[in-house]
């Protein structure tokens, strides 16, 4: 296989572990964690929000470090941080220490994405980069779908589950060391913050609103299933399997954007996201509707993150790590704000009202349109790739 194929496979696995296990599995095991550590919905929301907050700081640092020291070191660091964070979750004796471990584990996802984008820019030819990036991004779905059977097999043993996840993260650190190219520093001197033109500002608005709405399921999906259907570990595990399996469809985001444009794909899957939230979270749901809603949500979420990835990277083609960072950071900021807000609405109103409000947030994200987002490689992209390839050969 070519180096690009190895990179795609390793990146897919890295994202599966960091996003699927270290970040989103917390919502799957939340009902059991609640029982063991006596967490209220508001406190659960703040702890989950802490995971997203850790991500926010980490992705900024990751984009900077990737441009300074290269992708390989940052990717290895991401996997090791995930391993330590998830080991901390497995051993946490109190809500306070749990919150710290959840934040550390969640920060690994921020560290993981920018080096993967930079590595793709170095190792993959320009006309295949969007497709490869969105395939790697779809690793989130694989991680989520794998966490479901783990929950089914281990029942309420959430500590043992996170210990197994920590081992998987360590294995991915070794895989990153073997497959991610080392000489992926920016070919131009990094210029600090990029220009915040209309394309970037619309990306920020859309990603923030979508990220906030997604916390209805990522942070509270297991709890909503328990409240609305009386589901325990088995039901929540099946829901996560449905979300993750459908999320793998998000690998086609790059292909769909190239064919139909960002705005059409964006609107379509925002509608699917909102519908999925409503089907899972309202009191009128049934087991079949909940699983169907989970599939809609999973496919839509991964597709939308792929859309924002392409939107950011193509808007800043000579700084792919920074382009990805802007969209993904804004998603996480929305999730940081959304998780505690959803928990607050559940406490003060009812789950149905909270779900309806957050479904509407998804639709408002469609008001931000990409319009003139650049969807072509920069004129010097090919020569830049050749320069980076030369750096790789020298390493």
pLDDT of residue 342 exceeding 50: yes
371: left (phi over 0), alpha (psi -120 to 50) or beta: left
pLDDT computed for residue 3 by the predictor: 63
CA distance readout (Å), 232 to 222, 226, 229, 235, 238: 8, 6, 9, 6, 10
- Of 65-69, 119-123, 309-313, 362-366, give the range with the top mean pLDDT: 362-366
Residue scoring higher pLDDT (183 or 128): 128
What's residue 378's pLDDT? 39
Question: What is the reported pLDDT for 163?
Answer: 93
pLDDT at residue number 227: 87
Whole-number Å distance between alpha carbons of 358 and 344:
12
pLDDT of residue 294: 93
Q: Among 4-8, 132-136, 257-261, 276-280, which stretch is predicted with the lowest mean pLDDT? A: 4-8
CB 131 within 8 A of CB 255: yes
Which residue did the predictor score with more confidence, 378 or 162? 162
Q: Does pLDDT of 226 surpass 60?
A: yes
Please answer whether residues 151 and 238 qualify as being in contact, where contact means their C-beta atoms are separated by less than 8 angstroms: no
- The answer to whether 25 and 148 have CB atoms below 8 angstroms apart is no
DSSP conformation class of 284: T
Over the stretch 363-376, which tens digit does the pLDDT of each residue have? Answer: 899 888 876 454 44
Cα–Cα distance for residue pair 2/58, rounded to 1 Å: 30
Please tell me the predicted confidence (pLDDT) of residue 23. 79
Measured over the CA atoms of residue 124, residue 21, residue 105 and residue 328, the dihedral's sign is positive
* Structure confidence at residue 376 (pLDDT): 43
C-alpha atoms less than 13 angstroms from C-alpha of 170 in its C-beta half-sphere: 11
Q: Report the alpha-carbon distance of residue 92 to residue 212 in Å, rounded.
A: 27
Residue 269 has pLDDT above 80, yes or no: yes
- Which position has the higher pLDDT, 231 or 191? 231
| CA 99/CA 233 separation, integer angstroms | 22
Secondary structure letter of residue 251 according to DSSP: G
Phi, psi for 220 (deg, rounded to 5): -130, 10
pLDDT of residue 216: 92
The pLDDT assigned to 189 comes to 46
Task: Check residue 22 and give its pLDDT.
Answer: 86
Half-sphere exposure of 213 (CA within 13 A, CB side): 31
Residue 195 is given by DSSP the state P
Angle, helices 158-179 vs 71-91, to 10°: value is 170
Of the candidates 110, 116, 111, the residue with the CA atom closest to the CA atom of residue 133 = 116
100: left (phi over 0), alpha (psi -120 to 50) or beta: alpha
The CA distance from 112 to 77, in Å, is: 8
φ, ψ (nearest 5 deg) of residue 12 = -60, -45
pLDDT at 387: 36
pLDDT at 388 over 60: no
Mean per-residue pLDDT, 191-216:
84
Highest mean pLDDT among 154-163, 221-230, 252-261, 298-307: 298-307
Determine contact, residues 17/82, Cβ cutoff 8 Å. yes
- pTM for the structure as a whole: 0.74
Q: Compute the distance between CA of residue 181 and CA of residue 189 in angstroms, rounded to an integer.
A: 19
Q: What is the mean pLDDT of residues 56-81?
A: 88
Strand, coil or helix: 392: helix
- What is the average pLDDT across 13-36? 82
Highest-confidence segment of 23-32, 127-136, 288-297, 329-338? 288-297
Question: In whole angstroms, what separates CA 61 from the centre of its chain?
Answer: 17
pLDDT band at residue 354 using 50, 70 and 90 as cut-offs = very high
Tell me how crowded residue 187 is: count the other CB atoms within 10 A of its CB.
18
pLDDT at residue 380, rounded to an integer: 41
The pLDDT of 23-38, averaged and rounded, is 79
Give the pLDDT score at 77: 93
Mean pLDDT of 87-113: 87
Helices (H), the chain: 3-15, 25-37, 41-69, 71-91, 95-123, 129-137, 139-154, 158-179, 198-218, 221-229, 233-247, 253-260, 262-281, 287-315, 320-348, 351-364, 381-394
pLDDT band at 134 (very low <50, low <70, confident <90, very high): confident
């Amino acid at each position: 296989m070519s180096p690009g194929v190895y990179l795609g496979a390793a990146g897919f696995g890295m994202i599966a572990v960091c996003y699927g296990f270290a970040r989103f599995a917390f919502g799957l095991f939340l009902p059991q964690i609640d029982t063991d550590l006596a967490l209220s919905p508001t406190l659960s929301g703040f702890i989950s929000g802490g995971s997203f907050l850790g991500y926010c700081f980490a992705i900024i640092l990751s984009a900077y470090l990737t441009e300074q020291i290269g992708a390989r070191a940052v990717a290895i660091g991401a996997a090791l941080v995930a391993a330590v964070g998830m080991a901390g979750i497995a051993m946490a004796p109190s809500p306070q220490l749990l919150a710290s471990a959840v934040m550390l584990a969640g920060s690994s996802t921020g560290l993981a994405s920018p080096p993967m984008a930079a590595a793709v820019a170095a190792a993959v030819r320009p006309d295949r980069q969007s497709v490869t990036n969105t395939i790697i991004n779809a690793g989130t779905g694989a991680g989520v779908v794998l966490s479901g059977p783990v929950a089914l097999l281990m029942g309420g043993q959430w500590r043992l589950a996170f210990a197994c996840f920590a081992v998987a993260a360590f294995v991915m650190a070794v895989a990153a060391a073997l497959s991610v190219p080392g000489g992926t520093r920016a070919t131009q001197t990094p210029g600090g913050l990029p220009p915040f033109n209309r394309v970037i500002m619309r990306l920020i608005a859309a990603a923030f609103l979508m990220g906030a709405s997604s916390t209805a399921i990522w942070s509270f999906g297991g709890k909503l299933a328990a409240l609305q259907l009386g589901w325990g570990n088995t039901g929540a595990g099946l829901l996560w399997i449905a979300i993750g399996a459908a999320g793998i469809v998000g690998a086609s985001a790059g292909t769909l954007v190239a064919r139909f444009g960002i705005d059409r794909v964006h609107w379509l899957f925002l509608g699917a996201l909102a519908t999925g939230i409503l089907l899972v979270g309202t009191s009128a749901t049934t087991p079949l509707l909940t699983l169907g809603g989970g599939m809609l949500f999973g496919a839509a979420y991964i597709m939308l993150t792929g859309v924002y990835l392409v939107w950011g990277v193509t808007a800043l083609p000579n700084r792919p790590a920074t382009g990805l960072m802007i969209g993904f950071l804004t998603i996480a900021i929305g999730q940081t704000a959304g998780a505690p807000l959803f928990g607050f609405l559940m406490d003060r109103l009812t789950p149905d009202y909270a779900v309806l409000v957050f479904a509407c947030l998804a639709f408002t994200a469609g008001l931000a349109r990409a319009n003139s987002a650049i969807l072509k490689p920069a004129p010097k992209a090919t020569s830049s790739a050749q320069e980076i390839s030369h750096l790789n050969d020298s390493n």
